[in-house]
Amino acid sequence: MINALVAILIFPGFLFLSAFALFAEYADRKIYARLQNRVGPPIFQPFADIIKLIAKEEIIPEDANPQMFKLAPLFALTAAVTSIFYIPMWMTGALFSFTGDAIVVLYLLTIPTLSFFIGGWYSSSLFARIGSVRAVVALFSYEVPLFMGVLSSCMLADTWSLSGVAVFYEKHPWFWLFNLIGFGVALTALLGKLEKGPFDIPEAETEIVAGGFTEYSGRFLAILRMTIDMEMVVGASLLAAVFLPFGLMFTPIIGFIIYICKVLFVVACISLMRTVVARLRIDQMIEFCWKYLVPLGMLQLLLNFIIKGVILK
């Protein structure tokens, strides 16, 4: 009981995830800045932002629905925190694992997007409504490639459990090289989920102020920003667990450090990808995802089918 509480609240639960999320945001912003020949924020900047937001007043619009407005950020945060428990961090076993937890993690990552939609819609502001509707339309575009990418690797390992995936790739060390196309597809789709890079249309600053987050301020905005950072860490951890499953056979401490490095590598890839492209319009995003990402995902699935049938028998 005490073990479970420590796990949920401190490590690898809320406190560790918060600290890691803030550090990942710092890494993302620093790399983004250095790629643009700028200096970038100091290491405590994301923490200072959260503290400042918590200290500010919340303003709830008159026409908004107060209950939904206040509950939506909390749903998002809870879902993001819950999903970290199933990712194998320092050895091949995660904290709580069961068959099918890969799909559960993917589902839990969808809940924040729906919460942003609900929060934006019930804000009853024009900009928030447009932003929240765009967020759901974008969901239809990137969800399928993301699922395809992640599940193709799980399919090669013949299990839907992330810990099982880690065990499989420990037994067959170089098989993760077969999944590189899927890695590319899943990384691009992850940009859509995190609303970054060419897919940040739901939160397009120059068009609709802040999208679904326009009317949020104070503590709620702090919770929403924390959720976005945690989503980035969870998404990067998921991709690292499924596509870069090496280095899990060492001692727990070294394995943990390798895990941190892998997550930071995925975060660096995300930063680089969002630096070099402009923002796509919503119809261009749908066209791009369904015309290019989904066929590549299907190609990876086909490839893994063949490999499973031929090599692994």
Asked if 130 interacts with another protein (CB under 8 A), we say yes
Asked if 59 interacts with another protein (CB under 8 A), we say no
DSSP letters spanning 261-310: HHHHHHHHHHHHHHHS--PPPHHHHHHHIIIIIHHHHHHHHHHHHHHIII
Among 127, 168, 176, 183, binds another protein (CB under 8 A): 127
- Measured from the CB of residue 82, what is the shortest distance to another protein in angstroms? 32
Using CB under 8 A as the binding criterion, the count of chain residues that bind another protein stands at: 33
Among 111, 159, 247, 279, binds another protein (CB under 8 A): 279
Among 114, 207, 219, 308, binds another protein (CB under 8 A): 207
Residues 6+ apart with CB under 8 A from 73: 115, 119, 216, 220, 223, 224, 227
Residue 284 corresponds to which tokens in the numbers above?
């261009």
Among 205, 254, 257, 302, binds another protein (CB under 8 A): 205
Residue 238 corresponds to which tokens in the numbers above?
């998921």
Q: How many CA atoms lie less than 13 Å away from 228 in the CB half-sphere?
A: 20
Four-point Cα dihedral 35, 36, 39, 41, nearest 10: -80
Residues 227-266 as x/- pattern, contact with another protein by CB under 8 A: ----------------------------------------
| DSSP helix/strand/coil, 120 | helix
Assess whether the previous peptide bond of 252 is cis (omega < 30° from 0).
Answer: no
Which residue lies nearer to another protein by CB, 166 or 189? 189
Q: Of 35-43, 106-114, 138-146, 221-229, which segment contacts another protein by CB under 8 A?
A: 35-43
Residues 164-203 as x/- pattern, contact with another protein by CB under 8 A: ----------------------------------x-xx--
Among 1, 2, 37, 62, binds another protein (CB under 8 A): 37
Spell out a b/e string for 250-286, using b for 16 or more CB atoms within 10 Å of the CB, else e.
Answer: eeeeebeebbbebbbebbbbbbebbeeeebbebeebb
Asked if 295 interacts with another protein (CB under 8 A), we say no
Quickly count: other Cβ atoms within 10 Å of residue 114's Cβ: 17
Backbone dihedral region of 197: left (phi > 0), alpha (psi from -120 to 50 degrees) or beta? left
- Measured from the CB of residue 206, what is the shortest distance to another protein in angstroms? 4
Among 126, 180, 254, 261, binds another protein (CB under 8 A): 126
Enumerate binding residues for another protein (CB under 8 A): 31, 33-40, 126-127, 130, 198, 200-201, 204-209, 272-273, 275-284
